[in-house]
Amino acid sequence: MRRPRCSSCRGVRPRSHVVGKVSSWIDLDSEDEQLRLDSEITLKQEIAWASHLSLQACLLPPPKRYSCGNYARCVNQILQGMSNMQLWLRIPLEKSELMEDDSTNAASKHPSEGTFDSWELWNSFRLLCEHHTQLSIALDILSSLPSINSLGRWFGEPVRCAILQTSSFLTNARGYPCLSKRHQKLVMGFFNHSIQIVLSGTSLHNVSQEISEDLLVGDNNNHLEGMPVHHALRPYLDYVAYLYQKMDPLPEQERFEIGYRDFLQSPLQPLMDNLEAQTYETFEKDTVKYSQELILLSVSGQYQRAISKALVDRVPDEAASTTKTVLMVVGAGRGPLVRASLQAAEETGRKLKVYAVEKNPNAVITLHSLVKLEGWESVVTIVSSDMRSWDAPEKADILVSELLGSFGDNELSPECLDGAQRFLKPDGISIPSSYTSFIQPITASKLYNDVKSHKDLANFETAYVVKLHRVARLASSQPVFTFNHPNYSSKNNNQRYKKLQFVIPADTGSALVHGFAGYFDATLYKDVHLGIEPSMATPNMFSWFPIFFPLRKPICVPPESPIEVHFWRCCGATKVWYEWCVTSPSPSAIHNSSGRSYWVGL
């Protein structure tokens, strides 16, 4: 099957290539033994030929019935001996109630009486094939679509292409083929997730070629490569190309992050390890946190805004010229928070005395150069020490830190600030004043397979920092752990435990949970927030990607079944770690028991 590719990666020159197509008549689960045997022989022969031709992928016909054990066995057998070629299983995008005359349909074999959900068909097949990384999906897009929540599940699955039937197109007032608003939104979602569009069917619109070519927008037709100018399906492709070309360009933040999408990274160990210059540089580019340059004022300079408000509250206008506020930046890095503090003082007309405390000796060298370059010697005192062991010469009015991780407390901000709290005045201000972690269940087939490829327990019990992209967020996130600063409680204990229950929307259907996405939201001071929790995330900020807690075995969640999750934050003498598990709808193992695989060193 030769097909054009509408590339969703901006700036990437698309190209056409060849994908094999297995005969559609094969039925490996037929009751007819001869048909079943012939189907198996044909399947193996045709895939062997496609492999011989070094094709990138081969398109498999959809299962003829829900019970597809023999089909899956044969495909899995083929996958075991396959090197590079992908197998794309054709699945109709359908979730519907069955009518009485549907008794001959494959859906009648579905265990959920009265409904057909093609996701169940896919899930059954991929479980039988043990989540094989070379088994993917080709979605058949029909004229009617399931609910938005049901559609959302597929963006976390390994969908490689969407086959758009010409029967799905409507006709506009001028006789052109067009799509419904829901179909348009779905196609644009495919573009954003690098899912290729394939057109299929016979032409149902009698549009002259001269008119259809006028639908093209843009300066070149590279995305139409591989289709002759007078091809019968050209008007449909022109319309799909028009949808692609009218999409908004990726914002600067997304362009910066595109290379990190769905790439697993180990979280930082800032107490055990000294950060490298490149890490500091990435953080310092994030102007949302530190300054009011380049980004709109409403979302910029969160730290500077918080410090400005704290200074104004701390020192009234009438005392501004005579009162000097002692401000300590603990974990000063290469100086962005020092700069933000001094800019806040200049903005509010307050006087400052700044202590910049930093344990990384390499960063301290840069700090000394910065202070000398900017002429801050009379204002800034650099302290090369771990904040937990430093003996401060005086008490601070304001304590400023940026020790937050993707999960809020996962870089040990609670332990560090508890240790530094002793040199804050009793009425002193901590920035941040509190932070809360959040989690939500997700379908993340790619992330799961990437973790699985390591073939060991440790990687399934490690929390990863990752720019989530090819995932399906199955329910709204919920708060997990909260920490407040300063913390003068007599029961100063940073261990935590939380039990959460998530309910997936009823119209979603069944879903597979591969793990949990983690976020944080911090209150810097009063109404100044900073965070990555999706519903209230600070715009245009790339210092933090979400954290991903995988499950060793994905949990299948039936419709309307609650997901009960348990999370622990555990503290030892030399380390802090998380443990997590699921107890409903089916129990999982307790992950990372006693911090055996993943921990953060004190």
Would 266 be classed as within a structural domain?
no
Residue 118: domain span: 2-249
Contact present, 556 and 562 (Cβ < 8 Å)? no
Is there a binding annotation on residue 280? yes
Q: What is the CATH number of the domain that holds 64?
A: 3.20.20.150
Position 491 confidence tier, pLDDT thresholds 50, 70, 90? confident
Position 227 confidence tier, pLDDT thresholds 50, 70, 90? low
Would 254 be classed as within a structural domain?
no
Residue 280: both structure tokens together: 């500091």
Is there a binding annotation on residue 260? no
pLDDT for the residue 208: 53
Q: Of the ranges 66-80, 84-98, 269-283, 425-439, which one carries the lowest mean pLDDT score? A: 269-283
Cα separations (Å) of 587 from 152, 450, 456, 517?
25, 23, 20, 19
Would 374 be classed as within a structural domain?
yes
Considering the domain architecture, whether residues 131 and 43 belong to the same structural domain is answered as: yes
What whole-number percentage of the chain has pLDDT above 90?
73
The model's pLDDT over 406-463, given as tens digits with 9 standing for 90+, comes to 999 999 999 999 989 999 999 999 999 999 999 999 999 999 999 999 999 999 999 9
The model's pLDDT over 459-482, given as tens digits with 9 standing for 90+, comes to 999 999 999 999 999 999 999 999
What whole-number percentage of the chain has pLDDT above 70?
85
* Integer Cα distance of 91 and 94 in angstroms: 9
pLDDT for the residue 108: 41
Would 426 be classed as within a structural domain?
no
Residues 194-221, mean pLDDT to the nearest whole number: 62
Question: What does DSSP assign to residue 583?
Answer: E
pLDDT for the residue 482: 97
Residues 258-276, mean pLDDT to the nearest whole number: 75
* Integer Cα distance of 529 and 511 in angstroms: 33
Chain mean pLDDT for the chain: 87
- Residue of 181, 148, 145, 176 lying closest to 162 (CA atoms): 145
Considering the domain architecture, whether residues 118 and 237 belong to the same structural domain is answered as: yes
- Residue of 237, 241, 253, 342 lying closest to 291 (CA atoms): 342
pLDDT for the residue 99: 46
* Integer Cα distance of 266 and 462 in angstroms: 8
Considering the domain architecture, whether residues 94 and 140 belong to the same structural domain is answered as: yes
Residue 100: both structure tokens together: 């009485």
Considering the domain architecture, whether residues 207 and 352 belong to the same structural domain is answered as: no
pLDDT for the residue 83: 85
Would 312 be classed as within a structural domain?
yes
Would 126 be classed as within a structural domain?
yes
Considering the domain architecture, whether residues 282 and 245 belong to the same structural domain is answered as: no
Last residue of a domain, which of 229, 249, 269? Answer: 249
94, 120, 157, 402: the catalytic one is 402
Backbone angles phi, psi at 453, to 5 degrees: -65, -20
**CA count, 13 A, side-chain hemisphere, 308:** 18
Would 35 be classed as within a structural domain?
yes
Residue 14 clears pLDDT 50, i.e. is over it: no
* Integer Cα distance of 196 and 161 in angstroms: 4
* Integer Cα distance of 95 and 186 in angstroms: 15
* Integer Cα distance of 321 and 352 in angstroms: 11
pLDDT for the residue 205: 83
Q: What is the CATH number of the domain that holds 322?
A: 3.40.50.150
* Integer Cα distance of 276 and 341 in angstroms: 23
Considering the domain architecture, whether residues 57 and 192 belong to the same structural domain is answered as: yes
The model's pLDDT over 143-164, given as tens digits with 9 standing for 90+, comes to 999 999 999 999 999 999 999 9
Query: How many domains are contained in the chain?
Result: 3
The model's pLDDT over 308-359, given as tens digits with 9 standing for 90+, comes to 999 999 999 999 999 999 999 999 988 999 999 999 999 999 999 999 999 9
Is there a binding annotation on residue 244? no
Considering the domain architecture, whether residues 394 and 334 belong to the same structural domain is answered as: yes
Residue 286 clears pLDDT 90, i.e. is over it: no
Is there a binding annotation on residue 418? no
Residues 509-528, mean pLDDT to the nearest whole number: 97
Would 425 be classed as within a structural domain?
no
Last residue of a domain, which of 358, 379, 402? Answer: 402
Considering the domain architecture, whether residues 467 and 532 belong to the same structural domain is answered as: yes
Tell me the whole-structure pTM to 2 decimals.
0.88
94, 120, 157, 411: the catalytic one is 411
Considering the domain architecture, whether residues 508 and 389 belong to the same structural domain is answered as: no
pLDDT for the residue 539: 84
DSSP character string of 432-468: S-EEEEEEEEEE-HHHHHHHHTT-SHHHHT--EE-B-
Question: What does DSSP assign to residue 406?
Answer: T
Q: What is the CATH number of the domain that holds 467?
A: 2.70.160.11
Cα separations (Å) of 466 from 406, 439, 478, 543, 562?
9, 14, 19, 12, 26
Considering the domain architecture, whether residues 363 and 286 belong to the same structural domain is answered as: yes
97 is catalytic: no
Considering the domain architecture, whether residues 447 and 563 belong to the same structural domain is answered as: yes
Position 218 confidence tier, pLDDT thresholds 50, 70, 90? very low
The residue ranking higher by pLDDT, 283 or 353, is 353
pLDDT for the residue 281: 53
Residues 361-383, mean pLDDT to the nearest whole number: 94
Contact present, 260 and 548 (Cβ < 8 Å)? no
pLDDT for the residue 415: 93
Last residue of a domain, which of 249, 268, 303? Answer: 249
pLDDT for the residue 255: 84
Is there a binding annotation on residue 290? yes
Residue 105 clears pLDDT 80, i.e. is over it: no
pLDDT for the residue 228: 64
Residue 403 clears pLDDT 60, i.e. is over it: yes
276 is catalytic: no
512 DSSP β-pair partners: 556
Contact present, 166 and 202 (Cβ < 8 Å)? yes
Backbone angles phi, psi at 498, to 5 degrees: -145, 135
Length, in residues, of the chain: 602
Considering the domain architecture, whether residues 391 and 449 belong to the same structural domain is answered as: no
pLDDT for the residue 543: 78
Is there a binding annotation on residue 239? no
